[in-house]
Amino acid sequence: MKLTRLEPQRRSKRRVSVFLDGAYAFSLDEKTVSRLELAPGAELTEADVERIVRDEQLSRAKEYAALLLSYRARTEKEMQERLARKGFAPDIVAAAMARLRELKLLDDEQYARDFTRDRVTIGRKGKWNVRGELMKRGVERKTIEAALAEAPDELEVARELAAKYRRRHARLEPEVLRRRLYAMLARRGFTPDVIRQALEMPDED
């Protein structure tokens, strides 16, 4: 079959309509047309067309992935789900993700370490909370546990939170204060053992 015409689309300046044997066949991004050096008069086989369309889909998938990563880091599961939801075929999703791994743009181990550090030190969350959030994001259990093992001391974080809470609610009865402290730390994902130790430690001036 012959590539008879390349026509810029009116509604999307970056898209080009491709005509084969005089009839509209599909559209491509102008970058794909340039990269593949497509021009009217070229003879294309069915295999050529399949390769061109696949190249276009893969390019779009990688661009969409880059857009997602510009907002925040993603786990492999999150990226896979977003690409599939966008309508990309399984083989395109797999190829795009393989490329992202090569470029170290998808790295669940690094993601888990960064996420854990930020949640504990900035978000003031306990490891139990962090573990649950990482599991929801599809990170493997062994990767999560390795990240938690490297995390900052959550007992110190819990102690600081408890001290701040005590100062803010100093007028409460001791038993009421203790119950509320326990509930507050539990909501933040600290384990009963960590909470107990934090409540037993004296506040620092």
Q: What is the DSSP string of 166-203?
A: HHHTTTS-HHHHHHHHHHHHHHTT--HHHHHHHHHSPP
Distance separating alpha carbons of residues 152 and 11, to the nearest angstrom:
53
| DSSP conformation letters of 47-85 | HHHHHHHHHHHHHHHHHHHHHHHHHS---HHHHHHHHHH
| Mean pLDDT, rounded, of the chain | 92
**What local confidence, expressed as pLDDT, does residue 203 receive?**
60
Asked if residue 62 has pLDDT above 80, the reply is: yes
- Whole-structure pTM value: 0.78
Distance separating alpha carbons of residues 163 and 106, to the nearest angstrom:
39
pLDDT digits (tens, 9 = 90+) for 82-125: 999 999 999 999 999 999 999 999 999 999 999 999 999 889 99
- 205 pLDDT band (50/70/90 cuts)? very low
Distance separating alpha carbons of residues 37 and 26, to the nearest angstrom:
16
Distance separating alpha carbons of residues 1 and 46, to the nearest angstrom:
8
In 43-62, which positions are buried (b, 16+ CB within 10 angstroms) versus exposed (e)?
Answer: ebeeeebeebeeebbbbbbb
**Average pLDDT value for residue range 162-186:** 92
What is the enclosing helix (H) or strand (E) of 28? strand 23-29
- 200 pLDDT band (50/70/90 cuts)? confident
